[in-house]
Chains A and B, each alone.
Chain A
Amino acid sequence: MSATPQERLEVSISINGRRYKAPVEARKTLADFIREDAHLTGTKLGCEHGVCGSCTVLIDDAPARSCLTLAAQADGHRVRTVESLTEGQELNGLQRAFREQHGLQCGFCTAGFLMTATALLEENPTPTRDDIVETVSGSLCRCTGYQTIIAAIEQAAAEGAADTQKHDEQEGDVL
């Protein structure tokens, strides 16, 4: 069976354990799908061409820029956004460390840093400072000067506080 190229197509993406189905334009990015179709606005868009890292999410548990992935490419894949880190109002350990170390000021970049750090700590719960610096070098922050972000990730690692809980898939069409 051979598929025909489509300008609009139906995608089905698991985001934070819930399945979101919607018809989208082929050119729609995963970032726009997350914000506009799934209405999860924690993920922020800075540059929209892969340079700033603020749109970072986890696709199949690996950190990725959601502005450089099409919603169509993410069809059938698992995505986690910053909203997955916490249930309700309680901050998880990593988020608390960002707050305690002043790892954010305006907060625009924060969701991207949190997801990048989550991926790092899931893969390597005891990163060296160099590992942390290397990882955060992929994201831009115009406010903090980075030292407090690095300190926050160090604190979270020391406390073993990364949220490694992966949500169980819940079925049901949301859209």
Chain B
Amino acid sequence: MKAAKFKYVAPRSLEEALGHLGSDPDAKVLSGGQSLMPLLAMRLAAPSVLVDLQHVPGLNAIEDIDNAVRIGARVTHRAVEHSELVARRVPILSLAARHIAHPQIRSRGTFGGSTAHADPSGEWPTVLLAVGATMHLQGAAGRRDVHADDFFVGPFTSSMEPAEILTQVSVPATWDRWSFQEAAVKAGDYGLALVAAVASVENDTITDARVSVGAAVGSVTRLREVEQLLIGAAPDLNTAERAARVATDSVKPISDIHGSSDYRRNLVGSLVKRAIVELKNGA
């Protein structure tokens, strides 16, 4: 299938890109195109103008800043997967990257594109919600920062304005333990259920934790009941088993041709258990 007609522009600066978005309400950002191009081909999206970010400077870096790793919106999945800095400081991203599609998609698809797309089955949205990342947005009026809790507001919906551009994401590197779990029918497929869990641990007690679930639910969601159970508990098998039961009882899974809600409920329980066991072992 072929896309409907649109115009294309590849601005050389962020200001210019924002100008194009601001002057036409139907203009859209084009990053890696790995989600947008299929939507265009199937004519599920029909923007008037595509504003390609590939020549916009300042969006391609992975930087170590104080307590976080800041990743530019144009950094590819593949670059995250192979980054030594990411592996050392925020290893949950390296673990999750391998689950995103195939090498042919990872070489083009971008961190910012996936985050902005807010796909409920997306590895990045699930992980960014768990770690409590901060999205850096630029609009004509200026910059603003949005915490992941306020960013992913629904299926394929973020709290970004149409004329804003996601420039970077800051991923906190302060968690002690990390785990990413995914159940998919085959390697590279979108998962049936994803679970990301992070924790701070002192003297064998979990002092803080965040757990999120993707794919099995309508939009990426924190499992707050599980988090409450974890905080103050020891990171051990008993805690993992209790967490799995709470997850199974509290998650509200979707049902579709890929899996019934009961099946996904049990998957989420199993993945939460595996995740907490991994926290126990340290990652």
A and B, one complex?
yes
| A interface residues, Cβ below 8 angstroms from B | 1-7, 9, 25-27, 29, 48-50, 53, 56, 59, 62-65, 67-70, 72-73, 75, 116, 119-120, 133-135, 137-139
| B interface residues, Cβ below 8 angstroms from A | 1-12, 16, 19-20, 24, 27, 30, 33-34, 37-38, 40-42, 49-52, 54, 78, 101-105, 107-108, 186-188
Given contacts A26-B6, A62-B78, contact A73 B33 (CB under 8 A): yes
Chain A residue at smallest Cβ distance from B20: A5
Minimum Cβ distance to chain A for residue B234 (Å):
35
Minimum Cβ distance to chain A for residue B36 (Å):
9
Which 4 A-B residue pairs are closest in the complex by CB-CB distance?
A138-B102, A5-B7, A26-B8, A62-B107
A116 contacts B8, CB within 8 Å? Answer: no
Contacts of B41 in A (CB 8 A): 48-49, 67
A53 CA to B105 CA, complexed, in Å: 10
Choose among B1, B2, B101, B108 the residue with the greatest number of A CB atoms under 10 Å from its CB.
Answer: B108
B10 contacts A72, CB within 8 Å? Answer: yes
B188 contacts A49, CB within 8 Å? Answer: no
A27 contacts B105, CB within 8 Å? Answer: no
Minimum Cβ distance to chain B for residue A106 (Å):
21
Contacts of A48 in B (CB 8 A): 1-2, 41
Please tell me which one of the listed residues B8, B19, B37 contacts residue A2 in the complex, with CB atoms under 8 A apart.
B19
B52 contacts A63, CB within 8 Å? Answer: no
27 residue pairs from A and B, CB less than 8 Å apart: A3-B10, A3-B11, A5-B27, A5-B49, A6-B7, A26-B5, A26-B6, A27-B3, A27-B40, A48-B2, A50-B38, A56-B104, A59-B107, A59-B108, A62-B78, A63-B107, A64-B108, A68-B33, A68-B37, A68-B105, A70-B37, A70-B50, A73-B52, A116-B104, A120-B103, A134-B188, A139-B102
Choose among A56, A65, A135 the residue with the greatest number of B CB atoms under 10 Å from its CB.
Answer: A65
